[in-house]
Amino acid sequence: LENMAAEAVKRDGRLARFPLGDKNKEVISHRFLLSKITDLIEEHISAIS
């Protein structure tokens, strides 16, 4: 995520707008973000149920 954030600062501020040089780190970062977003969605669904 730190690499993605550093790239975002250099460009337009958005994460994952351009591919990173290290594809493996990029995939790991995307999977991490997806897991966090999934957790937030599940928490939200539980809260409104």
User: pLDDT by residue (tens digit) across 2-38?
Assistant: 877 888 888 887 766 667 778 888 888 889 989 999 9
For the whole model, what pTM was predicted? Answer: 0.63
The better pLDDT of the pair 24, 1 is held by: 24
Please state the domain extents for the chain. Answer: 2-48
Rounded Cα distance, 14 and 9, in Å = 8
Q: What is the pLDDT of residue 38?
A: 97
Residues 1/29, Cβ–Cβ less than 8 Å = yes
Rounded Cα distance, 13 and 36, in Å = 20
**Does residue 44 register a pLDDT over 80?**
yes
